């Protein structure tokens, strides 16, 4: 028989009782034992519900789970341990503190009850002082559990909000990645027997490296590789701005172009381009970043390439005969000092020679053999890649070999970019 005591000993109804009062379920097949325990609990200010069997108790728990349960161990049908295990499986919304009532005094039996899911035990006959002490201990545990649940709920809510913000930012970054990829629409471009290849691999969604080329015609090509200081959104925004300064389609906005006659444009000297970009960067007080760059002008008739180095890694020349050499003397990055100047240098390419501009994401990347790739490692990989590729495959092959030697599990720690000019190769002109 199920019996619910809806009043405490002082006559209060459940709706009147203080918030600190716990709802206690007493389960025992002895009506006398239930009465004794219920009276003692009511005196302590608890709201008590009684059940004569474990099956009846489960029905009560399904309707309104209690805070604490005091259950006899040995009962007809389902035992107290079995009741405890079923209760744990059915009530998941909050924790129920379970006290097992038993006449067993053997340590092994008590341990078996605790292992079965009980939190505490009382040995019959139960004294009022011990009962109150065990209930008080259970309330302390429940109070901590409720506080932890509330804090977890707040934390889950905060994490949900953060996840929503992250998803929104991630969508924006994916769109920004598409926009940045559009700044390098062509991975290869041919000019007769010569060709350019471009590679851009950000370390995250977006990056601060940029490569590009443009031509006013007459086999004159301007090409560049640049690397903005820092990472992430601020660096990517500056690369977008620099891309507009070096636009391959809007010559009137391109600082590397100058109008010569009628509507014809020509390429300015590399040192003048560096100075013009530096003037724009240093004049804008809202920009704290700077960038390194190699900018070159190639004459694809003669093979002459004039370049300026602005703090960027040294250009690498890969000769058709298998030799390699680095060019340039360093130079200052752009955007640091308003009165900085740069010196040009020139190299003449022969048929089959390659010139490679690259960011320090290559040379400063940790390798699985220890240390960084470095200049010697780049020459080694570049020489091997040169042996393998057909049209447009050189930089892909170079990056693949590079990724095979990276330290495992690190990924790209910095953006990786490159632009390669292959001058009038015998293969391409055949």
**Would residue 160 count as lying in a domain?**
no
SS3 letters across the chain: CEEECCCCCCCCCCCCCCCCCCEEEEECCCHHHHHHHHHHHHHCCCEEEEECCHHHHHHHHHHCCCCEEEEECCCCCCCHHHHHHHHHHHCCCCCCEEEEEECCCCHHHHHHHHHCCCCEEEECCCCHHHHHHHHHHHHHHHHHHHHHHHHHHHHHHHHHHHHHHHHHHHHHHHHHHHHHHCCCCCCEEEECCEEEEEEEECCCCCCCEEEEEEEEECCEEEEEEEEECCCHHHHHHHHHHHHHHCCCCCHHHCCCEEEEECCEEEECCHHHHHHHHHHHHHHCCCCCCCEEEEEEEEECCCCEEEEEEEECCCCEEECCCCCEEECCCCCCCECCCCCCCCCEEEEECCCCCEEEEECHHHHCCEECCCCECHHHHHHHHHHHHHCCCCCCCHHHHHHHHHHHHECCCCCCCCCEEEEEEECCCHHHHC
**Would residue 366 count as lying in a domain?**
yes
Residues 135 and 284 placed together within one structural domain of the fold: no
Q: Locate tokens 């349960």: which residue? A: 69
Domain boundary among 152, 172, 190: 152
**Would residue 90 count as lying in a domain?**
yes
Does the global pTM surpass 0.85? no
Q: What's the rounded Cα separation, in Å, for the pair 184 and 207?
A: 13
**Would residue 288 count as lying in a domain?**
yes
Residues 200 and 335 placed together within one structural domain of the fold: yes
Residues 68 and 11 placed together within one structural domain of the fold: yes
> pLDDT tens, 382-401?
988 866 554 458 899 999 99
**Would residue 199 count as lying in a domain?**
yes
pLDDT for 106 equals 66
Residues 308 and 416 placed together within one structural domain of the fold: yes
> pLDDT tens, 341-382?
999 999 999 999 999 999 999 999 998 888 999 999 999 999
Q: What's the rounded Cα separation, in Å, for the pair 217 and 159?
A: 56
**Would residue 207 count as lying in a domain?**
yes
Give residue 9's domain range.
2-152
CATH of the domain at 304: 3.60.40.10
Residues 271 and 224 placed together within one structural domain of the fold: yes
Q: Residue 127 — pLDDT band, cuts 50, 70, 90?
A: confident
Structural domains counted in the chain: 2
> pLDDT tens, 151-203?
888 898 888 888 888 888 778 777 777 777 777 778 899 998 999 999 999 88
Q: Residues 59, 14: contact at Cβ < 8 Å?
A: no
pLDDT for 360 equals 93
> Residues 239-250: what's their mean pLDDT?
92
Residues 135 and 237 placed together within one structural domain of the fold: no
Q: Which residue has the higher pLDDT, 186 or 332?
A: 332
pLDDT for 179 equals 75
Residues 22 and 138 placed together within one structural domain of the fold: yes
pLDDT for 386 equals 67
Q: Residue 49 — pLDDT band, cuts 50, 70, 90?
A: very high
Long-range CB contacts (< 8 A, 24+ apart) of 120-124? Answer: 122/70, 124/33
Residues 255 and 398 placed together within one structural domain of the fold: yes
Residues 401 and 298 placed together within one structural domain of the fold: yes
Residues 145 and 190 placed together within one structural domain of the fold: no
Number of neighbouring beta carbons within 10 Å of residue 300? 20
**To the nearest whole number, what is the mean pLDDT of the chain?**
86
**Would residue 165 count as lying in a domain?**
no
Residues 211 and 303 placed together within one structural domain of the fold: yes
CATH of the domain at 33: 3.40.50.2300
Contacts of 237 (CB under 8 A, 6+ apart): none
**Would residue 164 count as lying in a domain?**
no
Residues 193 and 131 placed together within one structural domain of the fold: no
């Amino acid at each position: 028989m199920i019996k619910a005591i809806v009043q405490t000993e002082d006559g209060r109804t459940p709706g009147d009782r203080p918030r600190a009062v716990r709802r206690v379920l007493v389960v025992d097949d002895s009506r006398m034992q239930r009465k004794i325990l219920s009276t003692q609990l009511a005196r302590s200010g608890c709201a008590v519900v009684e059940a004569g069997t474990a099956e009846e108790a489960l029905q009560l728990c399904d309707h309104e789970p209690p805070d604490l349960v005091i259950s006899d161990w040995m009962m007809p049908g389902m035992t107290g341990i079995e009741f405890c295990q079923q209760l744990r499986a059915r009530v998941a919304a909050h924790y129920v503190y379970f006290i097992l009532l038993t006449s067993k005094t053997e340590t092994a039996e008590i341990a078996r009850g605790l292992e079965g899911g009980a939190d505490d035990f009382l040995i019959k006959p139960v004294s009022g002082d011990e009962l109150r002490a065990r209930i008080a201990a259970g309330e302390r545990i429940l109070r901590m559990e409720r506080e932890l649940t509330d804090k977890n709920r707040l934390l889950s809510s905060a994490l949900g909000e953060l996840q929503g913000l992250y998803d929104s930012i991630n969508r924006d970054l994916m769109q920004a990645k598409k926009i940045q990829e559009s700044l390098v629409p062509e991975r290869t471009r041919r000019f007769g027997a010569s060709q350019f290849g471009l590679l851009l691999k950000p370390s995250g969604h977006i990056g601060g490296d940029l490569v590009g080329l443009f031509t006013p015609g007459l086999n004159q090509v301007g090409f560049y590789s640049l690397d903005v200081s820092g990472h992430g959104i601020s660096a990517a925004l500056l690369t977008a701005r620099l891309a507009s300064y070096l636009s391959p389609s809007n010559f009137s906005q391109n600082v590397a172009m100058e109008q010569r006659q009628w509507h014809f444009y020509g390429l300015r000297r590399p040192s003048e381009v560096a100075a013009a970009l530096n003037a724009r960067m240093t004049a804008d007080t809202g920009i704290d970043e700077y960038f390194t760059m190699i900018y070159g002008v190639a004459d694809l008739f003669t093979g002459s390439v004039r370049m300026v180095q602005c703090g960027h890694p040294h250009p690498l020349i890969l000769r058709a005969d298998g030799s390699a050499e680095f060019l340039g003397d360093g130079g200052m990055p752009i955007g640091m000092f308003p009165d900085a100047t740069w010196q040009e240098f020139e190299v003449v390419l022969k048929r089959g020679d390659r010139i490679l501009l690259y960011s320090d994401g290559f040379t400063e990347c940790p390798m699985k053999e220890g240390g960084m790739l470095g200049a010697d490692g780049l020459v080694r990989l570049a020489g091997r890649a040169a042996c393998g590729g057909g049209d447009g495959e050189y930089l892909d092959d170079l990056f693949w070999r590079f990724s095979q030697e990276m330290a495992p599990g690190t990924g790209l720690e910095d953006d990786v970019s490159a632009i390669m000019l292959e001058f009038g190769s015998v293969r391409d002109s055949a």
